[in-house]
Amino acid sequence: MPAVRSARVPLDTARVILPRGQVHVIPHRCKECRFCVDFCPKDVLALSTETNAKGYRYPVVAPGKDEACVHCEFCTLVCPEYAIFTVEVPRVEVMA
Amino acid sequence: MTMSTLIAERHPSDPLFRADRLPHIWCPGCGIGPAMHAYAQAMVESGIPLARHVCVSGIGCTGRVPGYLNMDSYHTTHGRAIPFAMAIALVKPELEVTVYSGDGDLFAIGGNHFIHAARRNVDINVICINNFNYGMTGGQVGPTTPMGARATTAPFGNYEQPFNLPHLAAATGAVFVARWTSLHLRQLKQAMLRAMKKRGFTFIEVLAPCPVGFGRPNDIGDAMEEMTLYREGCVVDPAAPLDSLDIDLRVKDRPIVLGNFVDVERPVFDPLAMMRPTSEAENNTAVAGKTQEGQ
Ligand SMILES: Cc1ncc(C[n+]2csc(CCOP(=O)(O)OP(=O)(O)O)c2C)c(N)n1
Ligand code: SF4
Ligand code: SF4
Ligand code: SF4
Ligand SMILES: [Mg+2]
């Protein structure tokens, strides 16, 4: 009997090019709620070691995750402080 | 190539906000912020020019939303956002009027205005941030506080049956009724877009963390914990019977039901129709989709 192929892997996986995002943060607006860090589907973010002037740690790209953001923009949507957003990296740059 | 974090000074959505007033006064993890962002984005995506959108609030933490939006916005008195908005909508029917306020403002002191505006099918949108308490005044019981939940005015637990807001809105006549949370932001934005497109009285309930007023007395550690509760405890079921949408956080594993529950047509309130020539009056009371007038 042939191995069962998982129905959850889309048939065109090999051809699809995932978008890539560049994370931008406005540290002085952050209040360390952690929504962006905990809800990022790719675990791109971690809290900074330094704090902002109000004593809050803000999100930074976690070690080794420089290329991991897929620009889903959920962090942008969920941040209560409008303190984080991503910019799509043009595909040529991604492939280079 | 992507780099690690880039530090920015401005946010792409800043033009929609009075950015000079940011950071806002809301507590860390307050659910009002994401819901306001969804509303700002929905206005842009609605295709209705920003100059024709109007936002009206009453008093409360949610009531501060108009003060942060870079548009024509009104912070009225406690409970009176709906009559204020109704006047705008009747005198200037070309405007897209949205009331953005809290559960206490809209359903305690303002409850009568809500039911009668819905009954008349006034052409306004009402968005309610339901954080299950009076956040601004220190966490008192309100008309949506779940049974058993603790509050400053119910230290042993609330013993009043709360409103089931979607059921109330539908029963009193709203033509569009939805419930989402400040985690379900894409669905929330789509519901807002639908509400902006529809003529008549629309209602969207947004369940939102208030870690200070509601979370703390109810052993919900922080906003992240309340958001996790929404992630794990919500089911989307637009076909759910309206009378089954009660929220009882005491009952473990009882899901919170989300969805766009009602989307119907009814004649829109137009008291000035009688004063206009017949053909024009008929056009204005027609129940067809939003007119293109003035776009
Ligand atoms: C006439 C009047 N009564 C009472 C108050 C006090 N007050 C201010 S905000 C508020 C309740 C706010 O609750 P809600 O609408 O749920 O807003 P939230 O702060 O939770 O967003 C009350 C009772 C007032 N400002 N005016
Ligand atoms: S855009 Fe998506 S993948 Fe990228 S950091 Fe934000 S939440 Fe994570
Ligand atoms: S969601 Fe916003 S406020 Fe919360 S930790 Fe992330 S950047 Fe800070
Ligand atoms: S008291 Fe509650 S509703 Fe008010 S800003 Fe704080 S978290 Fe938000
Ligand atoms: Mg409230």
Extents of the domains making up chain A? 20-89
Could you give the CA distance from residue B161 to residue B285 in angstroms, rounded to a whole number?
A: 37
Check B12 against A20: CB less than 8 A apart: no
Strand B234-236 to strand B176-181: parallel, antiparallel, or no bridges (unpaired)? unpaired
Domain CATH number, residue B62: 3.40.50.970
Tell me, yes or no, whether B86 lies in a domain: yes
Where in the sequence is the domain holding B34, given as residue range(s)? 25-280
Tokens of B92: 């200037």
Residues in B touching A59 (Cβ below 8 Å): 5
Structure tokens at B31: 């659910």
DSSP line for A5-52:
PPTTS-TTTTTPPPP-EEEEE-GGG-----HHHHH-TT--EEE-SS--
ipTM: 0.91
**Mean model confidence pLDDT for chain B:** 93
* CATH fold of A20-89: Alpha-Beta Plaits (3.30.70)
**Which of B221, B230, B265 has the alpha carbon at shortest distance from B35?**
B230
Joined together, the tokens standing for residue A69 give 């953001």
SS3 B140: strand
Is residue B98 domain-resident? Answer: yes
Chain B nearest-CA residue for A59: B5
Characterise B214 by phi-psi region: left (phi > 0), alpha (psi -120 to 50), beta (else): alpha
Q: How many domains does chain B have?
A: 1
pLDDT digits (tens, 9 = 90+) for B157-172: 999 999 999 999 999 9
Mutate to test the pocket of ligand 1, among B24, B78, B114, B140 (most ligand atoms within 8 A of CB): B78
For chain B, give the longest Cα–Cα distance.
65
Which residues contact residue A5 at a Cβ distance below 8 angstroms, ignoring those fewer than 6 apart?
none
Q: For residue range B52-64, list pLDDT tens digits in order.
A: 999 999 999 999 9
Please report which helix (H) or strand (E) contains residue A94, including its range. helix A91-95
Q: How far apart, in whole angstroms, are the C-alpha atoms of residue A79 and residue B176?
A: 27
- Does B47 map to a domain? yes
User: pLDDT of A68-92, one tens digit each?
Assistant: 999 999 999 999 999 999 999 987 6
Q: What is the pLDDT of residue B288?
A: 43
Phi, psi of B69 (to 5 degrees): -95, 135
B295 is a domain residue: no
Is residue B208 helix, strand or coil?
coil
- pLDDT tens across B263-273, in order? 999 999 998 88
What B244-247 contacts at long range (C-beta under 8 Å, 24+ apart), as own/partner pairs, is B245/B164, B245/B166, B245/B167, B245/B179, B246/B162, B246/B164, B247/B144, B247/B146, B247/B162, B247/B164, B247/B207
Residues near ligand 1 (Cβ within 6 A): B 59-62, 78, 102-105, 129, 131, 133-137, 142
Chain B nearest-CA residue for A64: B4
Residues whose CB falls within 8 Å of the CB of residue B176, separated by 6 or more in sequence, listed in order: B191, B194, B195, B198, B200, B202, B203, B204, B260, B262, B263, B264
Give the Cα separation of A90 and B110 in Å (integer).
50
pLDDT 10s digits, B172-203: 999 999 999 999 999 999 999 999 999 999 99
Look at B224 and A33 and tell me if their CB atoms are within 8 Å: yes
**What pLDDT band is residue B292 in, cutting at 50, 70 and 90?**
very low
